Amino acid sequence: MNCRGKTLTLGTNTHLMGILNVTPDSFSDGGDYLDVQRAVAHAKMMVAEGATLIDIGGESSRPGASPVSVDEELARVVPVIQALADAVDVLISVDTYKAEVARYALEAGAHIVNDITALSGDPVMATVVAEMEAGVVLMHMKGTPRTMQQAPHYNDVVSEIRSWLQEKARNAEARGIAGERIIVDPGIGFGKTTEHNLEILKRLSEFRELNKPLLVGTSRKSFIGNILGVPVTDRVEGTAATVCWAITNGADIVRVHDVKANVRAAQMTDALYR
């Protein structure tokens, strides 16, 4: 797929998307020079370890996280994207549901918008993505980050999410976004119980029927903690197991914090499977 002049070749190997959170609990207190340098250094390390995409986010989507203003989010992500676009030769995605943040981020050098609301969080987002010929990740979420874990219910979690993503992809195309620039994502952990997440992973291959590149993000998520009984700082092996499983069940891109370990797991799985 081609996003703003940069190509992502799909099908030959799994792509690792490295997570770069520029929020106060990670690299940023407001985009000052040192924050930017530290964030860029971390992104460069992830690229050296094998990430072929870097996902930069300035607002946490964890349950209960506080929303961030457009100005604050711009101050966090834009300087990092500007610095990174000159420093690395990989695709950059911006994790935002706000059209204004997306527009500035794309102008600063990003190629893809990772929208956890699948274009429904801001009425202008589809226009920005279409006009700027960017790629877009359409992720499924039930509710909002504030409400999503309040007793989520599905009759058939996989069929419902698959139909929902199909509808969102159709809408995106109707709004002028090229079909080949759309990536779909079942949104592990976003309005799902541990059982829902396991069911989605067990039946992941059913999302191939959408005929779109498939992104899966399991990294360090609570369902891994629930199964292994380990804290968020100790979930790298659990994550790697889900990465290998996701690859053999159709994932094209996996979104991870711990790039080195997951690249190795993915390369071995690719050698066996692809």
Looking at 75-83, 147-155, 184-192, 261-269, which segment touches ligand 9MG (CB under 6 A)?
184-192
| Closer of 217 and 238 to ligand 9MG (Cβ) | 217
| Complex with ligand 9MG: residue 37 or 121, whichever CB lies closer | 121
Min dist CB 33 to ligand 9MG, Å, is 26
- Contacts with 103 (C-beta within 8 Å, 6 or more apart), sequence order: 128, 132
Is 252 near ligand 9MG (CB under 6 A)?
Answer: no
Q: Crossing angle of helices 157-174/194-202, nearest 10°?
A: 70
Does position 95 interact with ligand 9MG (CB under 6 A)? The reply is yes
- N residues, the chain: 274
Show the CA angle centred on residue 145, arms to residues 18 and 228, nearest 5°: 60
Of the candidate spans 65-73, 75-83, 128-136, 185-193, the one that interacts with ligand 9MG by CB under 6 A turns out to be 185-193
Measured from the CB atom, is 88 or 256 closer to ligand 9MG? 256
Q: Which stretch binds ligand 9MG (CB under 6 A): 143-151, 167-175, 183-191, 226-234?
A: 183-191
Amino acid identity of residue 224, one-letter, is I
Is residue 220 annotated as a catalytic residue, yes or no?
Answer: no
Is 235 part of the annotated catalytic residue set?
A: no
Catalytic residue among 98, 255, 260, 274: 255
Closer residue to ligand 9MG, CB minimum distance, 36 or 141:
141
The C-alpha angle with vertex 91 and arms to 170 and 144, in degrees rounded to 5, equals 50
DSSP state, residue 19: E
Which two structure tokens, joined as six digits, stand for 232?
Answer: 């968020």
Among 255, 256, 262, 265, binds ligand 9MG (CB under 6 A): 255
Q: Is 224 left (phi over 0), alpha (psi -120 to 50) or beta?
A: alpha
Instruction: Indicate the DSSP class of residue 215.
Output: E
Question: Per rule CB under 6 A, is residue 61 in the interface with ligand 9MG?
Answer: yes
Taking CB under 6 A as the rule, does residue 116 contact ligand 9MG? yes
Q: Does residue 137 interact with ligand 9MG by CB under 6 A?
A: yes
Residue 59 is a binding residue for ligand 9MG (CB under 6 A): no
Q: Where do the DSSP E strands lie in 22-153?
A: 53-57, 91-95, 112-115, 135-139
88 lines the binding site for ligand 9MG (CB under 6 A)? no
Residue whose entry in the numeric block shows the structure tokens 């069929």? 159
Q: Is 256 in the site for ligand 9MG (CB under 6 A)?
A: no
Q: Which of 206, 188, 184 is nearest to 138 (CA)?
A: 184
Residue 185 beta carbon to ligand 9MG: minimum distance, rounded to whole angstroms: 4
Distance CA 228, CA 205 (A): 24
Q: Does 162 bind ligand 9MG (CB under 6 A)?
A: no
Angle (nearest 5°) at CA 31 between 26 and 34: 75
As annotated, the active-site residues are 221, 255
